[in-house]
Amino acid sequence: MNARARIAGAVALVLASVAGTGAVVANSAEVQRTSPGPHVSAEHGRYLVRAGDCMSCHTADNGAPFAGGRAVPTPFGTIYSTNITPDRSTGIGDWSEDDFYRAMHQGIARDGHHLYPAFPYPWFTRISRDDVRDIKAYLGTRPAVRAVNRAPELPWPLSVRGAMAVWNGMYLHEGVYGSDPTKSAAWNRGAYLVRGLGHCGACHGDKNFAGAVDKDHPLAGGFAEHMYAPALTGGKRDGLGQWSEQDIVEYLGSGRNAIATAGGAMAEVVEQSTQYLSEADRRAIAVYLKSLPAPGTERQASVGDGTMKRGAALYLDNCEACHMRGGTGQSGAFPPLRNSSAVQAAEPDTLIAAILQGDRVPATKADQTALAMPAFADKLDDREIAQLTTYIRNAWGNHAGSVDAGDVHDMRKQLRKAGH
Amino acid sequence: MARRLPPVDVVLVGFGWTAAIIAQELTEAGVQVLALERGEFRDTVPDFATDTIQDELRYAVRKQIFESPERETLTFRNSAEQTALPMRHLGSFLPAAGVGGAGVHWNGQCWRFLPSDFEIRSQVEQRYGKGFIPDGMNLQDWGVTYDELEPHYDRFEYLCGVSGQAGNLGGVKQAGGNPFEGPRKRDYPLPPLQRSASTTLFDKAAREAGFDPFPCPAANASKPYRNPLGVQMGQCTYCGFCEWFGCGNYSKASPQTTLLPVLLKKDNFRFRTRCNVTRVNTDSTGRQATGVTYVDIDGNQFEQPAGMVVLCAFAQHNVHLLLLSRIGAPYDPKTGLGVVGRNYAYQITSAVDVFQKERLNPFMGAGALGQGVDNFNGENFDHGPLGFIGGGYIALWNTGGRPILQHQLPKEAPKWGSGWKQAMHDNYLTSTSIATHGSVMSYRSNYVDLDPTWRDDYGNPLLRLTFDYQPNEHKMSDYLTDQATKIAQAIPGATHHAKKREGHYSIVPYQTTHNTGGAAMGDDPRTSVVNRYLQSWDVPNLWVMGASVFPQNAGYNPTGTVGALTFWAAEAMKRYLKNPGPLVTT
């Protein structure tokens, strides 16, 4: 059903891109209902800019909002986000609505150069024209900041922007989201947000050698910098199979629920973006995510008693004070580890990184403290962290692949390289 | 030459408990607030992280978390005939430096003072007669009552997530709580901490001795807590590293765990660290503060203009700053005239060590995990026949079992070598100690002023402390120790060793960081520095927070009352900001 809807959508999108703007607008009729109407609304744009978490990437540490310059590390090299303030010479003050729409939709800047897909246009291409217009209108209300864009640090041939035309030809599935008439309005709204503005798959999707997300498994879990963003599909252990819709609504609002707490990059996403979504939109996302099927096979692992025993001792000494006996966590304070989909994710990278460098939960309106976990990189060695991680992933009914000292060693190297 | 900075609405000197509360309250009222802190920024992670903080040698013995006497100290003498000398090592008391102040390294013993404490002179005169007050004792009412402070105690307790058991809800006594406490409008936000083996032992023995034990109020969260600002705390793990340590588990209330997550996000709040305020500046009339002068870590001098100045540093530092800035009449012990530096007070403590057979596992503790007895505090008992004023609580605090400093050995145990090791082995798990914690009244002969000889890094005179215990305090403390001994005697199979506080006050051994006074509050400008709202009598846009405003010291740990007074003063400041001027006219 889902697959067929996608194919139908893709066909429509191809037609749309052939037929031009008119068809695209017609195709987004469903989406327009959730937008405020034909009049440009900067206020609505502000909401959308939050939903798209634009500020996170387009603001450097201690930099002016939206003035760009934040380093975005990719497996291929470092790309710097651009100035999207209305400054006429260095920002997008001179861009027309059509220029902005083309950038969002096709990844092509005003002067015709290709943008790199670290800017998530492969997702933003799903956004309706009205919404793109409102986003531009809101950005137009921000203070103009003069900040010259910094060139990306990429090796040849990626340094040649024209190469992106080839990439787009292979991987960009251009076109506004087409609603599925067999699904509810909430489902469609959720799909529109997740697959479009929310660009969830940029982290939670499996990437190929070219950095493109596998279009058949866009939310099956994936690597993002040195973390592993867990699957958002229906897997019982490592996906959202055990989460209720309400669990998802709570998580997006406050960064925590009875099952898991956001950490790492997701803590920032909750702080900057999802906590500002309306409850209706958070619920729409939940409806859509809960409709995703579980992957077919679940990985089995068996862990030796010796490792579990040593892991248990390490857990008692280092973790139990906050995460409590049995990995229950402390409701309202520290995350549970038992039954946690993040802990049992297909890949252990996030967990290893959290133990090595520490982590923190998001500070939100409801929960003001970014409760932090200390770093254990100096206290535990690779073997100990491997044993501990394996234990946490397999204690109290948890079940996930084991970790060896080499994995921890590699992560240390990665984090050092990234300057963490 | 000081560089002049852009003005702010309100400048706070220091960034500990009182500054954090004032900043939160005034920024909510829309005012622009700047805090100047002499120490460093510190936060739970990484500074107090569980994988590094539990280091007794580094923090408790080598005192890395406190102010450094190399940079700031005072001179000390017992009496005016002596020559004061600088305190070169911290000892009797341990003020903090750094964001959060002593609110980072306190235990979390969060009491309300008794209603009678605030009206001590009136009550003593009424109950025992005017002649009962010894010569030279400056006994004073506070100018504020318990009933006025009750809502502010409540706010501080709910801010901190205090664990405890009410003893008096709206005048109705509650079983299991402190029967002597003033009426509270509602219960504590969290239930009491889990009892330990030693506090259970104490509870039983105190009952047998005929007293009324209760769980002491603890700003250590017995459960995960979210305070009214939405700031969260984790459940205390009884790790035993509370006193003199920052908490790694977000369990002990501190500015970091209760206020800063909200405050630091505000656009109208800023703070600067490594800024040592050396003067409060006034205009040519001397009746209006114009801001402060401070020196940064590199020795650069800045003038920070402000519409209002609030002194939020540790007790004696506030007084030092008033004296250096020549605000208010300095106290003259010869004539008894003047107010700044007058009524310095402290507390008097003693202990009864207990050696018994039951295994107590003292290392499972929390800063304010204790069972107390309040039968001999304030006006809870008739001390007319006993011939002294004041009182205190008796408690068994199970704060921890740190090996270097938190152990008890019998009097006859060797002080070193294999005999000492054997005694440690035999007693560590089974010994405990009952503490007494007594009030100290203010006296004409106990005060702080500027030292005529010794100067600090900035060329300013050091503060000089002249203080000794008086016969009234010794008599009271001895009586409290005798009552504590009765409890020790009721523990089955126990031997005990009563350690009374004897002789002159010494600044060397640690006793308590409950230094008070020097900028007393009150109703009479001839005997107080600030009015009942903690506003300077002399300079109405200058306010003084903290225990420096206590006219004398009560028998409890002061932080609860410091917190309540700060909320009380913040309400007054909001009224002042709408309509500036003295809030009390004389």
Tens of pLDDT, residue by residue over B91-106, are 999 999 999 999 999 9
A110, A216, A102, A248: which is closest to A168 by C-alpha? A102
Chain-chain contact of A332 with B230 (C-beta, under 8 angstroms): no
- Interval A342-363 mean pLDDT: 94
Kindly indicate the confidence band of residue A157, based on its pLDDT and cuts at 50, 70 and 90: confident
Does A189 lie in the same domain as A167?
no
Q: How far is CA A103 from the centre of its chain?
A: 20
B131/A contact by beta carbon, under 8 A: no
Q: Is B474 a known active-site residue?
A: no
Does A317 lie in the same domain as A284?
no
Cα–Cα distance measured from residue B270 to residue B227, given in angstroms and rounded to the nearest whole number: 23
Contact A350, A228 (CB under 8 A): yes
Does A66 lie in the same domain as A212?
no
B331, B269, B324: which is closest to B19 by C-alpha? B269
What is the total count of domains within chain A? 3
Identify the pLDDT of residue A297: 64
Identify the pLDDT of residue A301: 65
Cα–Cα distance measured from residue A390 to residue A400, given in angstroms and rounded to the nearest whole number: 8
A42, A91, A39, A46: which is closest to A69 by C-alpha? A91
Which residues are CB-contacts of A373 (< 8 A; sequence separation ≥ 6)?
Answer: A263, A322, A354, A358, A359, A360, B45
Identify the pLDDT of residue A7: 33
Does A153 lie in the same domain as A10?
yes
Chain B nearest-CA residue for A332: B224
Domain-embedded: residue A180: no
Cα–Cα distance measured from residue B557 to residue A325, given in angstroms and rounded to the nearest whole number: 34
Chain-chain contact of B224 with A330 (C-beta, under 8 angstroms): yes
Which residues are CB-contacts of B499 (< 8 A; sequence separation ≥ 6)?
Answer: B350, B351, B352, B353, B481
Residue A219 above 50 pLDDT? yes
Helix (H, G, I), strand (E, B) or coil at A228: strand
Identify the pLDDT of residue A298: 60
pLDDT tens for B571-584 read 999 999 999 999 99
Identify the pLDDT of residue A21: 32
Cα–Cα distance measured from residue A162 to residue A416, given in angstroms and rounded to the nearest whole number: 33
Of A145, A171, A197, the domain-final residue: A171
Cα–Cα distance measured from residue A323 to residue B546, given in angstroms and rounded to the nearest whole number: 36
Within 8 A of B239 by CB-CB distance, chain A residues are 321
User: Domain of A277: which CATH number?
Assistant: 1.10.760
Chain A nearest-CA residue for B221: A333
Domain-embedded: residue B141: yes
Residue B131, classified by CB atoms within 10 Å of its CB into exposed (0-12), middle (13-18) or buried (19+), is exposed
Helix (H, G, I), strand (E, B) or coil at B297: coil
In this prediction the ipTM stands at: 0.88
Residue A70 above 60 pLDDT? yes
Helix (H, G, I), strand (E, B) or coil at A22: helix
Identify the pLDDT of residue A8: 34
- Interval B6-35 mean pLDDT: 98
Helix (H, G, I), strand (E, B) or coil at B370: strand
- Interval B10-33 mean pLDDT: 98
User: Domain of A386: which CATH number?
Assistant: 1.10.760.10
R_g (Cα) of chain B, nearest Å: 23
Beta strands B232-233 and B225-226: pairing type? antiparallel
Domain-embedded: residue A387: yes
Mutate to test the interface with B, among A256, A368, A381 (most CBs of B within 10 A): A368
- Interval A333-344 mean pLDDT: 93
Tokens matching residue B45: 């992670």
Identify the weakest region by mean pLDDT among A11-15, A242-246, A307-311: A11-15
B54/A contact by beta carbon, under 8 A: no
Chain A nearest-CA residue for B50: A374
B542 phi and psi angles, rounded to 5 deg: -120, 135
Identify the pLDDT of residue A191: 97
Domain-embedded: residue A109: yes
Residues 369-408 of A with CB under 8 A from B: 369-376, 378-379
Beta strands B461-466 and B74-77: pairing type? parallel
Which residues are CB-contacts of A302 (< 8 A; sequence separation ≥ 6)?
Answer: none
Identify the pLDDT of residue A299: 60
Domain-embedded: residue A42: yes
Q: How far is CA B550 from the centre of its chain?
A: 10
Chain-chain contact of A374 with B237 (C-beta, under 8 angstroms): no
Going B10 to B13 to B15 to B19, the CA torsion angle's sign is negative
B79/A contact by beta carbon, under 8 A: no
- Interval B274-278 mean pLDDT: 97
Identify the pLDDT of residue A215: 82
pLDDT tens for B133-170 read 999 999 999 999 999 999 999 999 999 999 999 999 99
What is the number of other CB atoms lying within 10 angstroms of the CB of residue B175? 8
Provide the residue type at B317 as one letter.
Answer: H
Identify the weakest region by mean pLDDT among A35-44, A329-338, B103-112: A35-44
Helix (H, G, I), strand (E, B) or coil at B26: helix
Domain-embedded: residue B513: yes
B459/A contact by beta carbon, under 8 A: no
Does A209 lie in the same domain as A128?
no
Tokens matching residue B522: 């009150």
Within 8 A of A331 by CB-CB distance, chain B residues are 224
What is the total count of domains within chain B? 1
Identify the pLDDT of residue A300: 60
Which domain covers residue A275, as residue numbers?
185-290
- Interval A381-393 mean pLDDT: 98
Residue A3 above 70 pLDDT? no
Cα–Cα distance measured from residue B233 to residue B47, given in angstroms and rounded to the nearest whole number: 17
Give the one of A321, A331, A371 whose C-beta lies nearest to B239's C-beta. Answer: A321
Chain-chain contact of B50 with A360 (C-beta, under 8 angstroms): no
Kindly indicate the confidence band of residue A417, based on its pLDDT and cuts at 50, 70 and 90: confident
B224/A contact by beta carbon, under 8 A: yes
Does A146 lie in the same domain as A34?
yes
Cα–Cα distance measured from residue B324 to residue B276, given in angstroms and rounded to the nearest whole number: 13
Q: What is the DSSP letter of A373?
A: E
Identify the pLDDT of residue A18: 30
Identify the weakest region by mean pLDDT among A234-238, A269-273, B358-362: A234-238
Share of chain B above pLDDT 70, in %: 100
Does A254 lie in the same domain as A330?
no
pLDDT averaged over every residue in chain B: 97
E strand map for B467-558: 495-499, 542-544
Within 8 A of B51 by CB-CB distance, chain A residues are 318, 374-376, 378-379
Domain-embedded: residue B585: no
pLDDT tens for B315-354 read 899 999 999 999 999 999 999 999 999 999 999 999 999 9
Share of chain B above pLDDT 90, in %: 98
Q: How far is CA B407 from the centre of its chain?
A: 24
Does A194 lie in the same domain as A120?
no
Tokens matching residue B117: 């404490």
Q: How many CB pairs under 8 A join A and B?
A: 70
Residue A6 above 80 pLDDT? no
Please calculate the CA angle A178-A179-A182 and round it to the nearest 5 degrees: 140
Give the one of A333, A358, A378 whose C-beta lies nearest to B250's C-beta. Answer: A333
Please give, rounded to a whole number of angstroms, the shortest distance from the CA of B244 to a CA of chain A: 20
Of A107, A137, A171, the domain-final residue: A171
Identify the pLDDT of residue B51: 84
User: Domain of B379: which CATH number?
Assistant: 3.50.50.60
Catalytic residue among B320, B437, B497, B514: B514
Identify the pLDDT of residue B68: 92
Which domain covers residue B538, as residue numbers?
3-578
Does A167 lie in the same domain as A276?
no
Kindly indicate the confidence band of residue A109, based on its pLDDT and cuts at 50, 70 and 90: very high
Please give, rounded to a whole number of angstroms, the shortest distance from the CA of A320 to a CA of chain B: 9
Share of chain A above pLDDT 70, in %: 90
Please name every residue paired with B96 in a beta bridge, in sequence order, or none if there are none: B66
Identify the pLDDT of residue A2: 37
Tokens matching residue A182: 């067999």
**A315-322 contact pairs (CB < 8 A, 24+):** A315/A388, A315/A391, A315/A392, A315/A395, A318/A376, A318/A379, A318/A380, A318/A388, A318/B50, A318/B51, A319/A388, A319/A392, A321/B50, A321/B237, A321/B239, A321/B248, A321/B249, A322/A373, A322/B50, A322/B234, A322/B237, A322/B249
Please give, rounded to a whole number of angstroms, the shortest distance from the CA of B3 to a CA of chain A: 26
Identify the pLDDT of residue A149: 94
Domain-embedded: residue A179: no
Residues 265-324 of A with CB under 8 A from B: 318, 321-322
Chain-chain contact of A374 with B257 (C-beta, under 8 angstroms): no
Provide the residue type at A416 as one letter.
Answer: R
Contact B302, B294 (CB under 8 A): yes
Residue A35 above 80 pLDDT? no
- Interval B498-514 mean pLDDT: 97
**Chain position carrying tokens 């709040």:** B269
Does A259 lie in the same domain as A194?
yes
R_g (Cα) of chain A, nearest Å: 22
Residue A22 above 80 pLDDT? no
Residue A31 above 80 pLDDT? no
Chain-chain contact of B226 with A332 (C-beta, under 8 angstroms): yes
Does A108 lie in the same domain as A6?
yes
pLDDT tens for B532-550 read 999 999 999 999 999 999 9
Domain-embedded: residue A177: no
Domain-embedded: residue B100: yes
E strand map for A33-83: 71-74, 77-80
Within 8 A of B237 by CB-CB distance, chain A residues are 321-322
Tokens matching residue B491: 């523990």
Of A130, A149, A171, the domain-final residue: A171
Domain-embedded: residue B183: yes
Identify the pLDDT of residue A33: 37
Chain-chain contact of B250 with A376 (C-beta, under 8 angstroms): no
Give the one of B46, B50, B230 whose C-beta lies nearest to A367's C-beta. Answer: B230
A115, A269, A291: which is closest to A200 by C-alpha? A269
Does A249 lie in the same domain as A316?
no
Domain-embedded: residue A209: yes
Residue B365 above 50 pLDDT? yes
A151/B contact by beta carbon, under 8 A: no
